[in-house]
């Protein structure tokens, strides 16, 4: 998902939704890119939570 560069609060919103579902994350933030790593065992549950938030989840 590509978001505007100046957008704030997105990582907080995503991490809260996942935390509320008891899904642990490993977040990596760089200058222009954020990544959220999720355990493979939590992937299906995390995908469902993120889709409820309105995110489009792509699996590679």
pLDDT digits (tens, 9 = 90+) for 1-50: 666 677 778 889 999 999 999 999 999 988 878 889 999 999 999 999 99
Strand partners, 29: 34
Residue 1 within a domain: no
Residue 18 within a domain: yes
Residue 2 within a domain: no
- 22: alpha, beta or left, given left = phi > 0 and alpha = psi -120 to 50? left
Please tell me the total count of domains within the chain.
1
Cβ-based neighbour number of residue 45 at 10 Å: 15
Residue 58 within a domain: no
C-alpha torsion sign, points 28, 29, 31, 33: positive
Greater confidence (58 vs 18) lies with 18
**Reported pTM:** 0.79
Tokens at 6, concatenated: 């100046």
């Amino acid at each position: 998902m590509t978001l505007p560069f100046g957008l704030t609060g997105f990582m907080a919103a995503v991490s809260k939704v996942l935390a509320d579902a008891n899904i642990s994350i490993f977040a990596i933030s760089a200058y222009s890119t954020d990544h959220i790593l999720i355990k493979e065992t939590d992937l299906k549950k995390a995908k469902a939570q993120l889709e409820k938030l309105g995110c489009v989840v792509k699996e590679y």
